[in-house]
A and B are shown apart, each in its own frame.
Chain A
Amino acid sequence: SQTIHQWPATLVQPVGSPLSLECTVEGTSNPNLYWYRQAAGRGLQLLFYSVGIGQISSEVPQNLSASRPQDRQFILSSKKLLLSDSGFYLCAWSAAPNYGYTFGSGTRLTVV
């Protein structure tokens, strides 16, 4: 069966520090991978998606970047965090579009 792993679960980082969040998927190949963010009081905002290794599409201009170094690995990064980067970050994968996404358990990022 397919599983998705996302870590860490919580993270507190100072402003200006770098960020690296990792997501891996098991039990499937060539999945579509996604990064979403849920800011306080808001819905899920699509940040990046990837349909294959090295292919990244950005949905919103921001302080973040994404990379897909391997088929089932998706990384969210920042060189210098801003206070506004705080939020709940979710990784998701999709293989069959009619089933939507399967989400990871999320990372609560607090930038102080």
Chain B
Amino acid sequence: DQQVKQNSPSLSVQEGRISILNCDYTNSMFDYFLWYKKYPAEGPTFLISISSIKDKNEDGRFTVFLNKSAKHLSLHIVPSQPGDSAVYFCAARENFNKFYFGSGTKLNVKP
């Protein structure tokens, strides 16, 4: 049973607009959340993270929001650029050794 879910397999956004990628989790013991970006035939690269004691973390065009009561995580990209087109994975940490990943959302930013 998946503990981290990304229910939207794909998302298409116009360049300059906001991209919102969503992630839901079931385990209330998760204490740290990350977003990774993945291009085809490459390994995922770390994008942004958030601790469970916070509800927002911002880094340039990327902002991650955490709603613990809803067990929901989202990544906002503003403004979206064509180079942002990739698969985005959310991940949640159960303990030092284990991260659980969602199934990914493929973002397509149209010029």
* Chain A residues at the B interface, C-beta cutoff of 8 Å: 6, 9, 32, 36, 41-46, 49, 51, 57, 90, 92, 97-106, 108
Contact = CB atoms under 8 A, between A and B. Distances in A.
A106 B103 contact: no
A105 B38 CA distance: 10
Interface of B: 2, 4, 6, 9, 32, 34, 36, 41-46, 49, 51, 89, 91, 93, 96-104
B41 A106 contact: yes
Contacts of A46: 98-101
Given A43-B103, A44-B89, A97 B43 contact: no
Contacts, number: 64
B46 A43 contact: no
Given A99-B46, A101-B46, A44 B97 contact: no
A104 B2 contact: no
A112 B15 CA distance: 41
A103 B42 CA distance: 9
B42 A105 contact: yes
Nearest to B90: A43
A105 B4 CA distance: 23
